[in-house]
Amino acid sequence: MRKKQMTSAKKIQISNQQFIESTPKTKFLEIRVIYAISIYLKLCVIDLLFIRALAAKILFGVGSFINNLKKTTMKTTFITILTALAMSVAMAQTTVPNGDFENWADPYNITDWDGLNYNGGIINFHTFSQTDDAHSGDYAAQVETISQPLIGALPGIAFTGNIEFDPTTFEYSFNLGVPVEGRPSELKGYYKYEPASGDSMAIVVGMFKWNEEQQDLDSIGGGLFFTGNTANSYTEFSAPIQYFNQVDEADTMYIMMFSSLDSYHVGSKLKVDDLTLEYGTTGIDGKSSVPDISVYPNPATDYINVDSNGQINEANLIITDLYGRQVFQKSFYGGLSTPLPETMGNGFYLANIVQENLIIKSTKICVRR
């Protein structure tokens, strides 16, 4: 983790003092760093509840993503995910910044990327590093699950952007994501994977658009590649990006790579090289079939309303906190006006409208009582 000059991708800076105080300090770097990353990444990723049906639904939150993976990775293997639903041809195209992993300042610091690395004097560890075992060129990225004497097992994690941490104030500064244009249809690349004790890896991509009114990033789509199989030689992978917002074009992209997704099996090693974005067309006539849905009032006090102007049939309102934990769920037909549970305290939440296992509307709401 280090300070780095970002490009035009939007920055998010938060204080995590309340989060710090709520978690035992003995598990600080293993739990707090990982889950603090998840709070504001809000990646749109695959929920593995539909794994046996060879389907998936899109949910907010890396926290939800990791938790669901932990519950299911030892039971079954992910085989396929839904194809992207981009509704128009992307006129502008973007390359993955430093997607060939050639530009490194040193073996642990790379342009446009960061990872679960820490140099703090007493505690030092590196799960993300340079390797000369490359698919092409001189270098590739390596993420490895390691054991740190004072902490225990740490999963290998790498991501676009960077995180700064002040150990004296327990505050994080998240400078996450990189600029992107248009609506990419998939993330492609090459990987090697050596799982330990039946471990699993994942490469996740999230697409976001800056919301000027709320001064935050709205998630509009995402994709995932996931496997527990060994790959001794570089193998091509594809992570199709599914969009639940069929209108907006992305301006910010997050990519995350995990060497472990179950119980952090020490020794699991993932190598990645030559990441690229593909642009394509799906859908019919390039027209959006997503209804215009309003979730209001915002801020909300005791009630929340959903209005689709009669454009949707049966659907579900699912509200989660910023850790990805579900706090409220209500089925409805056409529209909804419902009281919020008293257990929902003041703060920000994510309101998702889910229809046929697909989030068709997501928005951040504020509760003020």
**Long-range contacts of 13-20, Cβ-Cβ distance < 8 Å, separation of 24 or more:** 13/173, 13/174, 13/175, 14/39, 14/40, 14/172, 14/174, 15/171, 15/172, 16/170, 16/171, 16/172, 17/169, 17/170, 17/171, 20/170
Q: Does residue 245 register a pLDDT over 70?
A: no
% of the chain residues with pLDDT over 70: 64
Highest mean pLDDT out of 33-37, 144-148, 187-191: 187-191
* Residue range(s) in the chain whose domain bears CATH number 2.60.40.3080: 294-367
CATH class of 294-367: mainly beta
Q: Are 154 and 29 in contact (CB under 8 A)?
A: yes
What is residue 187's predicted lDDT score, i.e. its pLDDT?
94
Q: Does residue 104 register a pLDDT over 90?
A: yes
Q: Does residue 84 register a pLDDT over 60?
A: no
- Angle formed at CA 288 by CA 86 and CA 57, multiple of 5 degrees: 55
What is residue 342's predicted lDDT score, i.e. its pLDDT?
92
Q: Does residue 130 register a pLDDT over 50?
A: yes
* Bigger pLDDT: 303 vs 33: 303
* Bigger pLDDT: 57 vs 208: 208
* Residue range(s) in the chain whose domain bears CATH number 2.60.120.260: 12-278
What is residue 324's predicted lDDT score, i.e. its pLDDT?
67
Model confidence at 353, in pLDDT bands (50, 70, 90)?
confident
Q: Does residue 90 register a pLDDT over 70?
A: no
* Bigger pLDDT: 128 vs 50: 128
Place of tokens 């049906």: 53
Q: E strands of 167-230, at which residues?
A: 171-176, 178-179, 186-194, 201-211, 216-227
Place of tokens 């039971």: 75
Residues 87-104, mean pLDDT to the nearest whole number:
72
* Bigger pLDDT: 303 vs 288: 303
Distance of CA 339 to the CA centre of its chain: 30
Is the pTM of the predicted complex or chain greater than 0.75?
Answer: no
What is residue 150's predicted lDDT score, i.e. its pLDDT?
75
Q: Which of 25-39, 164-178, 182-196, 285-299 bottoms out in mean pLDDT, i.e. has the lowest?
A: 25-39
Neighbours of 107 (CB within 10 A): 13
Q: Are 363 and 292 in contact (CB under 8 A)?
A: no
* Bigger pLDDT: 217 vs 327: 327
According to CATH, the superfamily of the domain at 12-278 is Galactose-binding domain-like (2.60.120.260)
- 52 secondary structure, DSSP code: G
* Bigger pLDDT: 344 vs 66: 344
Q: Which of 29-38, 76-85, 309-318 bottoms out in mean pLDDT, i.e. has the lowest?
A: 76-85
Model confidence at 21, in pLDDT bands (50, 70, 90)?
very low
Q: Does residue 241 register a pLDDT over 60?
A: yes
Residues 352-364, mean pLDDT to the nearest whole number:
75
What is residue 214's predicted lDDT score, i.e. its pLDDT?
77
Average pLDDT across the chain, whole number:
72
Q: How far apart are CA 281 and CA 359, in angstroms?
A: 20
What is residue 171's predicted lDDT score, i.e. its pLDDT?
59
Q: Does residue 288 register a pLDDT over 60?
A: no
